Structure 1
Amino acid sequence: MSRIQTEFTILAAYNGDSILIKTFDENKDDFIILVDGGTPSTFDYSLKKNLNGISKINLLVLTHIDSDHVGGLIKFFKNSLINKIEIDEVWINQPNSDLNKNANEKALISVRQAENLKALIIEKKPYSKIREITIADNVINIKGLEFTILSPTVEIKDKFYEVYEKEKVSLNQENLEVNISLSIAEYSKSLKELNKIDFKPDSSINKDIYNSSSIAFVLKCPDVNLLLLADSRAEIITKRLKELGHNIESPLEVDYVKISHHGSLNNTSQELLSLIKSSNYLISTNGGTASHKHPARETIARIVHKTNRDEKLLNIYTNYKITDIKIRIGEFVNENDLEEGNWNIEHKNTFTKNDI
């Protein structure tokens, strides 16, 4: 099938991520990319209907093994729909070994799900190419589509594999599934005041190894450029962008940025944002869970009031209605916030070049 423009959708994935990209290759043939599957409920609620009519996924990416990214993929592979869809290539970072069936179920939920998914891939799609990804791959070109890998490093992938193996045989690991979006909501300060507060993540990279091992990349399509940050760490992406020659004067220019970790306080720094030039930022969340709420007001502040912004209107898009997110987490933005900074926030799921 011939396609003339890229269309991508940030699916309603509850507190998780699932992104479906419909673009075209150098021959103008369809090229379909699915990045993550959201929570287990995401498949039934949104992923299944968005995959209907698709006969081939050219690239499936599991950015990391947290439940809110892998759960929907497991349901997809267990559903009869999988038999109707060819999958050319899968990007997944995961050690090759058997799961210890006697390990603690709750503590090892992400490891169990990752093992389950990989077994399903091998069973259902034995001819799909399975590939590990790190920044050592640098730039990957698939039929004219260019993927610049920003995370993880080889060292972090190896550390993740070490933790992964330990978690399969231990009942009491410290480095379990760490979610660093927990913070006390700061709604009394203005966005400008919040942006002046230094970025200080709550957890180290090694103690947040699942998120730190996220596969993050720049996708250059024929008509649009996307920065997809998964749940990556700001420190890792900042270092990588600097290695690629970007700085405040010469930032990475992209059409859209999928903000890391659902807009968590601890994954988007002022320094990272200064290395990126874009007018469109996407946040994937329904507001989070009772103990882990997002997006953080501080993250909104850093995006809106970043140091090297141009004068163009800046857009922040959420994949759930603003009113629904506010019901879960409160007034993370208000009318007074919109009076400064020439910016807008709205709910939107599907995007094309024409929307810029």
Structure 2
Amino acid sequence: MKRNSTEFAILPAFHGDCILIKTYDINNDEFIILIDGGTAQTFRYTLKAELKDVNRIDLLILTHIDSDHIAGLISLFKSSLIDNIVIDEIWMNHPEIVEINNDELISTKQGDSLKELILLKNPDVKLIEITTLDKSIIKSGVEFIILSPTPQIKEELYRQWQLANLPKTNNDNVNISSQKEVYSNSLEDLSKIPFSPDKNINNDIFNSSSISFVLKCLDVSILLLADSRSEIITESLRLNCFNETKPLEVDYVKVSHHGSLNNTSQEQLGLIQSNNFIISTNGGTADHKHPSRETIARIVYNSQRKDEVLTIYFNYKIDDIKERIGDFINDTDFEEGNWNAINKNWF
């Protein structure tokens, strides 16, 4: 199939991520990328319908091992739909990718291996591990600038995985802005509060190990941050020669970890120039809600703002997110900052 423009979807993935990108290569042949699969319900209610007419995925990326990213892919590979889809290449870092139970727990010891499922259904697929050592990967004119994980973080992930004896949930004790005083503070005031994550990188190894990258298609550029740590992305951007006077310029930024308080810093945003930020979440789980109001504040009042309207896109209706987490943004917020918030799935 020929194509001359890119379109991509941040699919409704409940509290997870599932991104479908339909772009094209230097020959104008369609190039399809699937990033993560969301929760098991994501496949059932959304991804399955989007893939029903797809017979080839050029690149599938599992960014990291968390149930709200991997479960939908397990459902895909257990379905008959996968029998009609050829997958050329898969990126994933894994000591052993395993099944999850109905409570969406990731277990290091039990269940079917996702790798075994993949090889059963697609025995000729190329399975590739990715780190920042790969730097830039170009596939027929489509470029990927790898920003995380580092080789050291990948090895630490494997070490912790092998030592683990208990299931690991996708709930990572994120410190959310649930306090009423935070919701009542202005965005500008919140943007000035220093970034202070409540976990270090090794204690947040699943998110730290996210495969994150700049995607440079022939007509659009997207910074895809998965659930990556801001400290790692900041260092990688600087190593790629981006700085406050020469920031990374992209058309879209998919914000890390559903807008969590702990994954987007002022320093990181100071290295990125974009008018379009995307947050993937339905509001989170009962215990761990996203996005945080502080993250919204940092984006709106980031130091790289141009004198143009900034838009934050959500893949669920904003009113529906508010029903789960309260008024994380309100009408007064739009009176300053020259920005807006929009619900949108396809771009």
TM over 0.5: yes
Matches of 2:345 and 2:109 in 1, distance apart?
Answer: 30
Matched, 1:136 2:133: yes
In structure 1, runs of 5+ residues without a counterpart are 352-356
Give yes or no for contact 1:7–1:350 (8 Å, CA) kept in 2.
Answer: yes
Aligned length: 344
Matched, 1:200 2:193: no
The aligned runs of 1:232-311 (5 Å cut-off) are 232-311=228-307
Give yes or no for contact 1:66–1:110 (8 Å, CA) kept in 2.
Answer: no
Aligned to 1:350: 346
Q: Secondary structure at the match of 1:223?
A: coil
Matches of 2:230 and 2:40 in 1, distance apart?
Answer: 27
The aligned runs of 1:149-160 (5 Å cut-off) are 149-160=146-157
Change (3 A) 1:176 1:135: same
The aligned runs of 1:177-216 (5 Å cut-off) are 179-185=172-178, 186-216=182-212
Aligned to 1:76: 76
Offset, 1:176: 6.8
Post-superposition Cα deviations, 1:127-168, rounded to whole Å, max 9, x if no partner, equal 00000000000000111110000000000000000011112x
Aligned to 1:122: 119
Matches of 1:229 and 1:113 in 2, distance apart?
Answer: 29
Q: Secondary structure at the match of 2:64?
A: coil
Give yes or no for contact 1:214–1:231 (8 Å, CA) kept in 2.
Answer: yes
Residue identity (%): 57
Offset, 1:308: 2.6
Q: Secondary structure at the match of 2:253?
A: strand
Q: Secondary structure at the match of 2:311?
A: strand
Offset, 1:10: 0.2
Change (3 A) 1:115 1:340: farther
Aligned to 1:61: 61
Aligned to 1:30: 30
Give yes or no for contact 1:182–1:293 (8 Å, CA) kept in 2.
Answer: no
Offset, 1:297: 0.2
Matches of 1:156 and 1:208 in 2, distance apart?
Answer: 10
In structure 2, runs of 5+ residues without a counterpart are none
Give yes or no for contact 2:132–2:147 (8 Å, CA) kept in 1.
Answer: yes
Residue type at the aligned position of 1:8: F
Change (3 A) 1:176 1:74: closer
Give yes or no for contact 2:96–2:113 (8 Å, CA) kept in 1.
Answer: no
Give yes or no for contact 1:65–1:111 (8 Å, CA) kept in 2.
Answer: no
Change (3 A) 1:224 1:322: same
Post-superposition Cα deviations, 1:292-341, rounded to whole Å, max 9, x if no partner, equal 00000000000000123111100000000000000000000001100111
Matches of 2:81 and 2:229 in 1, distance apart?
Answer: 34
Post-superposition Cα deviations, 1:26-64, rounded to whole Å, max 9, x if no partner, equal 110010000000001000110001111111000000000
Residue type at the aligned position of 1:309: R
Change (3 A) 1:223 1:122: same
The aligned runs of 1:102-113 (5 Å cut-off) are 109=106, 111=108
Give yes or no for contact 1:65–1:113 (8 Å, CA) kept in 2.
Answer: no
TM score, norm. by length of structure 2: 0.95
Offset, 1:198: 0.3
Offset, 1:181: 2.8
Aligned to 2:143: 146
Change (3 A) 1:114 1:319: farther
